[in-house]
Amino acid sequence: MNRFKHNTFFQLFFFGNYFAGVCAIALSLEGSLQQHVPLFDPLFYILAFAATVSYYSLAYIRTEFSPESATNRTSWYTQHHTLMNRTQAIFLFILVIGSVYFAVKNIETILNLSLFEWTLIILFPLVSAFYYGVDNKFIGKHNLRNIGWLKPLIIGFTWAGLVTVFPVMFYAIEHTTHYELTLVGCFLFLKNVMFITVLSVLFDIKDYAMDYNVQLKTLVVKLGLRKTLFYIIIPLCVVGLCSFLIYAHLQNFSLMKRVINTLPFLAVIAVTYSMYNRRDIFYYLIVIDGLMLFKALCGITAMIFF
């Protein structure tokens, strides 16, 4: 691992949030298959990738870091400021052009969307905007990221919307039908909210010292490491696992399908026990974020082969 840490491509792939974009595509594919939506026009996956990369890069690009608060990641963004600004512009261009193309192509269907559908389309981008902060003379200044205990839930909620709701919504619009709220869709949405919220709490461990110093009351800061791991993370994983097993029983999943879908929960529990030791930033970017990719691959495998 150490020999890769100073590799330019390796750093760009993880620091530049391209790996997060890959996870967004994989989870979207999983969400589509699990809701029995055919894999469709690649435009959605291109937009999901571009949106994820540009969104996660935004916080580092628009913020000036003092030498005292510098980390490996922030130092990398400072050194590659020009490159990241240019790639950010490219991804934003892709988002605008792709969205306009999709809107023009499906304008009649979009104009006939229900209030419920419009609410879903607006809700998740709006929440993600308030996460980083909105300062407007009409609505005032709000930043959900500063509410430490709420921060992981907002991340989980936004991700679940992107990879569970939007793929089905996109497909429905392309095929001139309406998005329907189903029991399967609700379960998968809540499952993704819970799973990614847990990963976000684990990720907050990395920033414990900094959050403590600026008095950002994340769960890790409020409860401490041990209580967070054993009173929050593991119980949530157990609840999620039990909920899935009940759902799998009601849906008559095969044994192999159940086993494969339980692996991500067990992987989170295993990683939780590893968090007592101090970890490098790449551990969080590869292993913690990698659990999203692992979950997606397990879900895709179970749907295709079992």
Domain borders along the chain are: 2-305
1 pLDDT higher than 90:
no
| pLDDT (mean) for 23-39 | 92
φ and ψ at residue 56, rounded to 5 degrees: -70, -25
| Sequence-ordered strand ranges (E) for 117-256 | 134-136, 140-142
Q: What is the pLDDT of residues 147-184, one digit of tens each?
A: 767 888 999 999 999 999 999 999 999 999 999 988 88
User: Does residue 265 contact residue 233 with C-beta atoms inside 8 Å?
Assistant: no
CA distance 292 to 298: 10
Nearest to 195 by CA among 257, 241, 253: 241
Return the pLDDT at 216. 66
Query: What are the angstrom distances between the C-alpha of 68 and each of 130, 162, 210, 213?
Result: 27, 35, 11, 12
Instruction: Place 69 in a pLDDT band, splitting at 50, 70 and 90.
Output: very low
| pLDDT (mean) for 255-279 | 89
Nearest to 69 by CA among 208, 210, 217: 210
233 pLDDT higher than 80:
yes
| pLDDT (mean) for 131-159 | 73
Top-confidence residue, 280 or 261: 261
Specify the residue for token string 């969104």: 55
Return the pLDDT at 35. 92
Instruction: Place 255 in a pLDDT band, splitting at 50, 70 and 90.
Output: very high
Look up residue 277 and give its DSSP letter.
S
Rounded to two decimals, what is the model's pTM? 0.90
